[in-house]
Amino acid sequence: MNENSSPQTDKKTSTVATNGLIFNEPVVFDLGSPGRQAYSLPECDVPEVEIETLLPPDEIRGPIDDFPELGELDVVRHFTRLSQWNFSIDTNFYPLGSCTMKYNPKINENMARLPGFSQHHPYTPEEFSQGSLQVLFDLQECLQEISGMPHVSLQPAAGAQGEFAGMLMIHDYLAAQGNPRKKVLLPDSAHGTNPASSALCGYTAIQIPSNKDGLIDIEKLEQLMDGDTAAIMLTNPNTLGMFEKDILKITDIVHKKGGLVYCDGANLNAVMGIVKMGEMGIDVLHFNLHKTFSTPHGGGGPGAGPVGVQEKLASFLPVPVIEKNGSHYHMNYDRPQSIGKLKIFYGNFGILLRAYAYILTLGPDGIKEAAQSAVLNANYIKSQLKDIYHLPYPGPSLHECVFNDKNQAGSKVTTMDIAKALIDHGFHPPTVYFPLIVKAALMVEPTETESKETLDQFIQAMKVIAEQAKDDPDAVHDTPKRPKVSRPDEAHAARHPRLRWKK
C-alpha cells in the first residue's frame, strides 16, 4: 500500500472508504477449464462401492451441466474477490442495533479448534467426555452467576429457540397447576420472534402500548393482566435501548395475578455485571451467546440461546441436564416433567465453547466494564447527533439510540437514503425501520468494542450526510456509488430469488 492509499478520514468528506481494487468477477460457472481440480485427497483406505448401492435413485443427484472445473488458486481468488464486494467484521464498523456483539476474538476461534474439542465425537461415552462436559457445566455456572437465574440449560441452538423453550416451560408449569391459560402480553416494541414463540405454544399475543417515554405503560398492563394471562414477554433494556425502570412494578403486577415474567436477553450486554435479572422478578431469561459473548453472529452461522429459569421451573428444563456428582460430570435424562429435547446432543458446542472462553478472558470486572463501555459508546453517539437527527424518545438510553429522518423530511431524504449514503463513507448501515413504534427508525448500536476514533469517524459521516441532505439532496438519493452494487431491487430479490445458474 502506498502513502496515498491509506484509508484515513478526509475531514472535508468524512470518507473512510476509497474506491479500492474491485474486480468484475464473473460467476463461478464462467470460470475454469476442463480437467482442473482444486483438491488432492489421499487414497481411500476402505473398499469403494457405487453410490447406487447405498442410496435410492431419487436421492442421487444427476450430473450438473457445465459444472465448473477450477484449480485451487482459482477458487481462492474467486471467493476472496467476491468477499471484497461486501463488508466484513474484520474490516468495518457495524453500527447495527439489536445485533449487539460484532467482535470475534481470534483466541476464541483458536480454543474452538483445539483437537481435544474439535475432534471430540458427540457419541463418545460419558466417561471419556469429562473435559467437554466440564466446559458445559462451568459455562452454566457462569451464566447463572451473571444473570442471577439459579438454573440454566445450554441446549437451545438460537435465541428464538431459547424463547420457545422458555414459553414451553411456562406453558407446562401452568398446566401442571391446572390452568395453562390462553394469552401472553407483549410490548409494542417487542422483537418479532416473541409473538411467534407465544403462538407456537398455543397462546394469543396481546399487545401492550408503550407510554410517551417508550416504556411499558403500567396502567395498561394492570388493565390487561388477568387470570387468563400466562405471561408477559419483555425485553430489558428494550428495543429503544431504554431500561424498564418500573421493572419491579411490572413483575409484581404479573405475579399477583399468577402469571410469569419472560425476559428476552438480547440486550444483556448493556447490564451484565451491573444488575441481575433474577433479582428483578424475572422467571425465564434467554441469553444470546452469539450476540453478548462474542461468538460469530450473522451470515447464517450457528447461534446459541441458553435459557435460565427460577427454581419453580427447574424440573421443566430440556433434557439432558448436565450435573456434577463429586468430580464426575454426567447428563441427566431422568426428568419426568421436562419439555423434552430441543437439539441433538447438547446444543451448538463450538459456540458454547467460544462464549466460555470470552467470559473467562473478561472475568467479573471485565464483564461489567464491557457493559459500561456499551452504554458509554451509545450515549456518546447520541449526544453528538441528537441536534442533527430527530430523537423520538430523548430519555436516558443504554446500549443503543434510535433516530429517524424527521429532520431531513423537508429535503425528502429518507432513512433508507441515509443508510445507503453511509456505505460510501465506509460504514455498514445501522438497523433501519425497526423498532416499529418509531416511524422510519434508524437504530444505532456501536457496541462495547469500538474505539472513540471509529465513533468520531462515524459521527462525522452522519454529519456530512445531514449537510448534503440540506444542500444537495439528489446526491444523497443517488448513493451509494462506491460499492460493486448500488441499490438492488430488494423486494424483487426476496420474492424471485435465482437459486440455480442458467446461462
What is the distance between the alpha carbons of residues 340 and 336, in angstroms, rounded to a whole number?
A: 9
Q: Is 126 helix (H, G, I), strand (E, B) or coil?
A: helix
In three-state secondary structure terms, 431 is strand
Q: What does each C-alpha distance from 92 to 95, 96, 285, 367 come to in angstroms?
A: 10, 12, 31, 24
Checking DSSP bridges between strand 441-444 and strand 401-404, what pairing results, if any? antiparallel
Q: How distant is the alpha carbon of residue 436 from its chain centre?
A: 18
Res 1 pLDDT > 50: no
The 3-state DSSP composition of the chain as helix, strand, coil percent (nearest 5) reads 40, 10, 50
C-alpha cell at 346: 447438547
Segment 103-113 mean pLDDT: 88
Please give the pLDDT value at position 343: 87
Residue 60, pLDDT above cutoff 60: yes
**Ramachandran bin of 314, using left for φ above 0, alpha for ψ from -120 to 50, beta for the remaining angles:** alpha
pLDDT tens digit string along 370-398? 999 999 999 999 999 999 999 999 989 99
Question: Is pLDDT of 324 > 70?
Answer: yes
The topology under which CATH files domain 115-361 is Aspartate Aminotransferase; domain 2 (3.40.640)
**Whether 211 contacts 459, CB under 8 Å:** no
Structure confidence at residue 101 (pLDDT): 62
Report pLDDT for 484: 83
Q: Residue by residue, what is the 3-state secondary structure of 449-496? A: CCCHHHHHHHHHHHHHHHHHHHHCHHHHHCCCCCCCCCCCCHHHHHHC
Q: How confident is the prediction for the chain on average, in pLDDT? A: 90
For helices 130-147 and 349-385, angle between their N-to-C axes, nearest 10 degrees: 30
Which residue blocks in 84-205 are alpha helix, DSSP H?
Answer: 106-112, 115-118, 130-147, 159-176, 193-200
Say how far apart CA 288 and CA 267 lie, in whole Å: 9
pLDDT of residue 90: 77
Across 11-25, 354-368, 467-481, least confident range: 11-25
Distance CA 374, CA 445 (A): 8
- The SS3 assignment for 258 reads coil
Sorting pLDDT into bands at 50, 70 and 90, what band is 12? low
Domain ranges of the chain: 28-83, 115-361
- The amino acid that residue 483 corresponds to is P
Q: In 3-state terms, what secondary structure has residue 151?
A: strand
Task: Give pLDDT, residue 297.
Answer: 60
Best CA proximity match to 117, nearest among 129, 106, 127: 129
Question: How many Cβ atoms sit within 10 Å of the Cβ of residue 500?
Answer: 6
Does the pLDDT value for residue 8 go beyond 50?
no
Assign 4 a pLDDT band (cuts: 50, 70, 90): very low
Strand, helix or coil for residue 233: strand
